[in-house]
Amino acid sequence: MKYCQNCGKEIPENASFCPECGAAVKAPASPEVNNVPQNRKVCPETHLALAIITTILCCLPLGAVGIIKASRVSTEFQAGNYEAALKYSADAKKWSIIAIIVGVVGILAYFALIVGAAIISEL
């Protein structure tokens, strides 16, 4: 129920003038979303190149997940599923980063093993 801002009486929801005092009733503020001009949506980054590079250089299974996610970005975007495309874009980036971390840790562990073996064999 709305109230008149002039006299404070209850007024019908759809009334544009107060039946009591005749004051004009302010239209409810339209939600902010409607005031924002609809930007043309741009396809989210696929991170496909990043996924391919990590697959080649680092960790094949994890990088492959990134490639699959990356390839879904443009597919979903073209199907009009902007939210899904955004999600796959974030996923592709996430999996590529995981692949890089796993790859780097793996390489470091590998070198640590070689160095460790070399040190032990010197003893």
**21 vs 114 by CB, closer to Zn ion:** 21
Radius of gyration from C-alpha coordinates of the chain: 30
11/16 Cα distance (integer angstroms) = 9
- Return the number of other C-beta atoms located less than 10 Å from residue 117's C-beta: 10
Check: CB of residue 68 under 8 Å from CB of residue 24.
Answer: no
Coil, strand, or helix at residue 55?
Answer: helix
**18 vs 58 by CB, closer to Zn ion:** 18
Minimum Å gap between C-beta 14 and Zn ion is 15
Cα angle 39-43-44, degrees, rounded to a multiple of 5 = 105
How many residues at the interface with Zn ion, by CB under 5 A?
A: 7
7 near Zn ion, judged by CB under 5 A: yes
Minimum Å gap between C-beta 22 and Zn ion is 7
Binding to Zn ion in span 8-47, by CB under 5 A:
18, 20-21, 23
**7 vs 109 by CB, closer to Zn ion:** 7
**23 vs 64 by CB, closer to Zn ion:** 23
Coil, strand, or helix at residue 9?
Answer: coil
Binding to Zn ion in span 104-123, by CB under 5 A:
none
Chain residues that interact with Zn ion, rule: CB under 5 A: 4, 6-7, 18, 20-21, 23
